[in-house]
Amino acid sequence: MTISVVLADDQPLVRSGFRLIVEAEDDIEVAGEAGDGEETLALVRMTKPDIVLMDVQMPKLNGLEATHRLVAEGVASRIIILTTFEQDDYVFAALRAGASGFMLKNAGPEDLVHAVRIVAGGDALLAPSVTRRLIQDYAQRPAPPKNVGLSELTQRELEVLRLLATGKSNAELAAQLYLGEGTVKTHVSHLLRKLGLRDRVQAVVFAYETGLVEPGDS
């Protein structure tokens, strides 16, 4: 199966670099390039790629707003935010807009390829530095009330959500819960559907926002 990717960045040299990296892989192809947010919307709607590599700062429409609009439209393409900035407002805005991944542009080529494959496979990805800041941010907030949405989950699904939010992979979840990976994937799918969440990134945010998981949990 070939993964189709749209490259959205206002710098032609950056797009060229990304193209060289991803097209060096047999299972990834570039569906098109866009130099601003409005071009990105039109291109994604037309080509329906599996992945959009989305820059934050673009003319006409920034990457966060473009992400928000695409997700609100129900576009199936999954979005990885790529930026040189490490500011928290970009991180949290991207996650809440519905991005499935967030990486810094100084990541290595192999990390970029890995991110594309992981997110295309239905998982989600955060750079380690982003995860640390996400946890630190919630550590500084007052304890929130438990969200009523949690009552929709079974005890097993709550357990899976807690572990998922601490950064464990499906394999680690399966080992800790003495379950098969297929069963874990089913639990994750069910809890995402019940909570109306797009993917694991939003599940992590949800778990912290509702107080189900607190900084320091492991």
pLDDT at position 122 over 80: no
Higher pLDDT, 165 or 86: 165
pLDDT in tens, 57-106: 899 999 989 998 998 888 889 999 887 765 556 677 777 778 888 888 88
Average pLDDT over residues 185-208: 83
Average pLDDT over residues 115-125: 79
Listed in sequence order, the DSSP H helices in the chain are 12-23, 37-47, 63-72, 88-97, 109-120, 128-139, 155-165, 170-177, 181-195, 200-209
CA dihedral defined by 40, 58, 203, 166, rounded to 10 degrees? 130
Contacts of 133 (CB under 8 A, 6+ apart): 86, 88, 91
**212: left (phi > 0), else alpha (psi -120 to 50), else beta?**
alpha
Four-way CATH pick for 141-209: 1.20.120.1200, 1.10.10.10, 3.10.250.10, 3.30.70.1060 = 1.10.10.10
Average pLDDT over residues 182-205: 85
Closest CA to 80 of 2, 169, 3: 3
In three-state secondary structure terms, 89 is helix
Tell me what pLDDT residue 35 has.
93
Tell me what pLDDT residue 213 has.
74
pLDDT at position 41 over 60: yes
Average pLDDT over residues 118-131: 68
- Average pLDDT score, the chain: 82
pLDDT in tens, 4-32: 999 999 999 999 999 999 999 999 999 99
pLDDT at position 147 over 90: no
Domain 3-131: which CATH class?
alpha beta
Domain ranges of the chain: 3-131, 141-209
Sign of the CA dihedral with 84 first, then 22, 167, and 68 last: positive
Q: In terms of C-beta density within 10 A (0-12 exposed, 13-18 middle, 19 or more buried), how is residue 136 classed?
A: exposed
Give dist(CA 12, CA 18) in Å, integer.
10
Structure tokens at 12: 């032609």
